[in-house]
Structure 1
Amino acid sequence: MKVFKFGGASLKSADAIKNMATIVRHNAQAELVVVVSAMGKTTNSLEELLSKYRKGESSSLDLLKKYHLDICDSLFQDKNLITIKLEGLFSDLLTNLSQTGLAYDQHYDQVICYGELLSSQIVSDYLIEAGLNISLVDSRKFVITDDNYRNGYVDWDETKKRITHLRLDLTEGIVLTQGFIGGTKDGHTTTLGREGSDYTAAIYSFCLDAESMTVWKDVPGILNADPKRIKEAELFHEIAYKEASEMTYYGASVIHPKTIKPLANKNIPLFVRSFDHPERAGTIIHDCEVTLPTPSIIIKENQCLVSFNVLDYTFINEENLSLIFKELAVLDIKINIMQNSAISFSVVVDYREDKLEEMINVLKEHFDIKYNTGLELITIKNYRPDTIVQYRSGKNILLEQTSRNNYRALYVV
């Protein structure tokens, strides 16, 4: 049994979906679970709509609706049935957008999930019309999480129990489902974190003891850098689980950070392959001993440097740190890098204005808090001295760290 995941770029147009269908058809002889993301930039569009609704600004679903219906025009000879299904989803989306009294994170999950719901409906109907035996299942009823909206924590026992029941569907055809989204036991929609469809595929792989998992991307595999920023990026043909896990932790965007652990726990290999060139091997992530020949360059955007300075000029101590870490944990804020001096402690985090304000309101009575936004964090794994010089030159650096294997610097864009 195999698990395939197709991201937004591989579903962004009718031609892309036709290409995706060809890849699925070539692998239809095996038991297969297909996990799909929202199409193209749909998630971004939904985030913009949500923001406007919460601000009371005028907004319309027309552009989003047209985008999906235009794709259907090119996919289906008779689009009446799929149009009826999509109209129902857009009606439900409008209802959820109007629930502005919900807390932001909960409201976010009830709205953003429609990208995956629309995508999976279109793709499943097209694959069925193309002659494939498809069972469309709702991940919100299989991937069970707590109510930590926008970053749900998986209830593994309940999730495995439910996903195991899909084996009967797999013997009869292909199971197709949504990535990124889950649900609580009492039926509220949750999401697994931005770009979380990879993680969804890993959850299904783990629970079904998959032979392998494959992520189909718009890149040839895992590269040592983002090819959109660094033209000379090189392909890694083979990577160990540990190395891949560290790369995702530092911000490599090709795989969601939570993806590796469930696969490594069951020694399930992960393939990252190009949907434009499916005949190519891409990259395999598995249990191996490989020395990567080239440093990895990982850049995280939209970073925020927060510095906590003690009010009475005593030294930063464990009691101070415990206050900071407790609030970071409560707000589910992940530290990307940290550093302390005698009287201050600094952390670098992904910038979320609402969470930053909440943290400052809680801790301002204990610290003088200053912060900078609009920053980038570069990590060079397995660096060479010349690599540091290359990427350090001309930067306005606010924070810098060097360890045995990694160089990290935070700088003003």
Structure 2
Amino acid sequence: MKIFKFGGASVKDAAGVRNLAEIVRTQGQNAVIIVSAMGKTTNALEGIVRAYVHQKTDDIQSQLASLRDYHNTIMSELTGDFSPVHQTLAHLENQLQQPCNSLYDEIYDQIVSLGEVLSTQIVAAYLTQTGLSAHWLDARHLVRTDTTFREGRVDWEATNRRIKDAIVKNQLYITQGFIGQSPDNRTTTLGREGSDYSAAIFAYCLNAESVTIWKDVPGVLNADPKWFDETVLLSKLTYQDAIELAYYGATVIHPKTIKPLQNKGIPLCVRSFLQPDAPGTVIGNSDRHLSIPSFIFKVNQVLISLHPNDFSFIAEDNLSRIFGRFAQAGVKINLMQNTAISFSVVVDNNPDRLPVLLDLLKQDFRVSYNDGLELITIRYYDQGTIERVLPNKKLLLEQKSRYTVQLVVKDLD
């Protein structure tokens, strides 16, 4: 059995849904198809969450109307029984009329998760109408997690049992990425862009033949074409190189995706839904590492520097408190560096979590920070590649290892 994962860009409109159907018809009828929310639906639902938490009734209604209109437009150009979609939208509207009495992260998961439900209901209805026997599955009943909302930790034993009980080989299934369910039956999500991880979860549990992630790029490139004019397609990658690239922020693959596949030797293919016959990139077992440098850019970064308030050093007790504060605020560290009397970290500028983190850190440390920065990571670097990315940049921090250099820079323009 194969696992196919289609991201939001691949199903952003009716033409995308029809294209998905053609790919499934020709390449994946014995497969589990995992689909993300359509287009920018996740962003739209995040806006609805913020309006709901702050009880901005007019914003809730206008954003909900836009969400409904967007999905209705797609359905109007397709055929199928879309009554489940209307039921999901009605459920969302009813939910938004209830009192807001839960923590933000839990509310987030209950609402934002519906984007994947809507997209898979539309895709399943259309595939069925076109003659493909597509079975819609609710991933919330299959992927069991703990109660860490927005970053659910998978209970692999329970998930493995549920997926194997639900899926029969030689059938076609449509289900959601990104979402799961806690032991007390509350919806959880696996982290932003977690649909790739969902594909790996299903593949691991089913001992899949392969996983294919369908993207709007020809495969894994050595740099994001938004930043580099001349990019190179990487036709093959080792699991190790893929893990490293994902860890440092390569957006083509979710960081958690690779390890479950590596553990069972399941190849991961990254292919273009715009050119479905092209080979793309294959990630698997290989002794050959990358022969060319790869560049990863993360923008909107914040460099935070911490100094003890007393005469102590940055030693084990201080580090323990620092990491505890980051865990408490739910903020991930993209880079860290310490001296005897300071500790510096680079993080994403998350407006929901960063202010909370800074308040926590100020309880124990003097805190200073710079925002509006870029974090540039080069894998298999040399001095020439470093110089290539530094024009018109002020270098604030540099960290090197044998194969990787990370540069924190500020644009001088």
Q: Same fold judged by TM-score > 0.5?
A: yes
Greater mean alpha carbon deviation, residues 66-75 or residues 51-60: 51-60
Match of 1:347 in 2: 345
Q: CA deviation at 1:365?
A: 3.0
Determine the C-alpha separation between the residues in 2 that align with 1:121 and 1:297.
Answer: 37
Aligned to 2:266: 268
Secondary structure, counterpart of 2:23 in structure 1: helix
Q: 1:312 aligns with which of 300, 310, 313?
A: 310
Q: Greater shift after overlay, 253-262 or 365-374? A: 365-374
* Counterpart in the other structure of 1:103: 103
Contact in 2 for aligned 1:96/1:110 (Cα 8 Å): no
One-letter identity of the residue aligned with 1:71? I
Cα distance between partner residues in 2 of 1:231 and 1:352? 29
**Offset, 1:85:** 2.5
Q: Give the Cα separation in 2 of the matches to 1:142 and 1:266.
A: 20
For the pair 1:72 / 2:70, whether they are aligned, the reply is: no
Q: Is the 8 A contact 2:331 2:354 kept in 1?
A: no
After TM superposition, the structure 1 = structure 2 runs for residues 160-175 of structure 1, keeping only pairs within 5 Å, are 160-168=160-168, 170-171=169-170, 173-175=171-173
Secondary structure, aligned partner of 1:284: strand
Partner of residue 114, structure 1 = 114
Structure 2: state its 5+ residue gaps.
Answer: none
RMSD across aligned positions (CA): 1.5
Q: Which residue of 2 aligns with 1:55?
A: 54
In the TM superposition, 1:363-374 aligns within 5 A as 363-374=361-372
What is the aligned partner in structure 1 of residue 129 from structure 2? Answer: 129
Instruction: Name the counterpart of 2:85.
Output: 86
TM-score by length of 1: 0.95
Q: Partner of 1:298: helix, strand, or coil? A: strand
Partner of 2:321: 323
Deviations 1:334-391, CA, capped at 9 Å, x for gaps: 2211111221111112222343333333332321112223322110110121110111
Distance of 2:94 and 2:377 partners within structure 1: 43
The 8 Å contact of residues 134 and 175 in structure 1, kept in 2 or not, is answered as: yes
- CA distance in 2: counterparts of 1:56 and 1:329, whole angstroms: 28
Q: What letter corresponds to residue 11 of structure 2 in structure 1?
A: L
What displacement does 1:113 show? 0.8
Partner of 1:399: 397
- Secondary structure at 1:223 match in 2: coil
Aligned AA for 1:66? Answer: D
Q: CA deviation at 1:92?
A: 1.2
Question: How far is 1:167 from its partner?
Answer: 3.1
Within 5 Å, give how 1:192-341 maps onto structure 2. Answer: 192-341=190-339
In 1, the alpha carbon distance for the partners of 2:46 and 2:118 equals 15
Q: CA deviation at 1:86?
A: 2.2
1:308 is aligned with what amino acid? L
For residues 165-211 of structure 1, the C-alpha deviation after alignment (integer angstroms, 9 at most, x for no partner) is 1233x34x201100011111221010001011000000000000001
The secondary structure found in structure 2 opposite 1:335 is coil
2:406 is aligned to 408
Identify which range, 55-64 or 349-358, moves more after superposition.
349-358
> What is the letter of the counterpart of residue 72 of structure 1?
M
After the TM superposition, which of the residue ranges 253-262 and 363-372 deviates more from structure 2?
363-372
Q: Which runs of 5+ in 1 are unaligned?
A: none
Query: Residues 177 and 228 from structure 1, CA distance in 2 versus in 1: closer, same or farther, beyond 3 angstroms?
Result: same
**Partners of 1:322 and 1:49 in 2: how far apart?**
36
Contact (CA 8 Å) 1:2, 1:212: kept in 2 or not?
yes
Moved runs in structure 1, 4+ residues, more than 4 A?
A: none
2:111 alignment partner AA = V
1:16 is displaced (CA, Å) by: 1.0
Q: Report what 2:42 is aligned to.
A: 43
Instruction: Find the counterpart in structure 1 of residue 152 from structure 2.
Output: 152
CA distance in 1 between counterparts of 2:321 and 2:312 reads 15
Query: Hey, what's the Cα distance between the residues in 2 that align with 1:343 and 1:32?
Result: 55
Which 10-residue stretch deviates more, 59-68 or 15-24?
59-68
1:268 CA drift (Å): 0.2
Distance 2:330 2:55 in 1: 28
Q: For residue 403 of structure 1, report the CA deviation from its aligned partner.
A: 2.0
1:100 to partner: Cα distance: 2.6
- Alignment partners' CA distance in 1, 2:107 and 2:122: 24
3-state SS of paired residue (2:214): strand
Shift of residue 54 of structure 1?
Answer: 2.1
Residue 28 of structure 1 deviates from its aligned partner by: 4.3
Matched letter for residue 35 of structure 1: I
Are 1:20 and 2:23 an aligned pair? no
- Asked whether the equivalents of residues 113 and 181 of structure 1 are also in contact (C-alpha less than 8 Å), the reply is yes
Match of 1:312, SS state, is: coil
TM-score by structure 2 length? 0.95
Equivalent-residue separation in structure 2 for 1:306 and 1:92 (angstroms): 42
Which amino acid in the other structure matches residue 243 of structure 2? S
1:165 to 1:278, Cα distance in 2 relative to 1, 3 A: same
Aligned to 1:190: 188
Give, in whole Å, the separation in 2 of the partners of 1:406 and 1:28: 38
Q: Is 1:4 aligned to residue 11 of structure 2?
A: no
Alpha-carbon distance in structure 2 between the residues aligned to 1:403 and 1:135? 48
Paired with 2:394 and 2:105, the residues of 1 have a C-alpha distance of 34
Which of 172, 176, 179 is equivalent to 2:177?
Answer: 179
Are the aligned partners of 2:2 and 2:28 in contact in 1 as well (CA < 8 Å)?
no
Which has the higher mean CA deviation after the structures are superposed, 355-364 or 259-268?
A: 355-364
Q: Which amino acid aligns with 2:130?
A: A
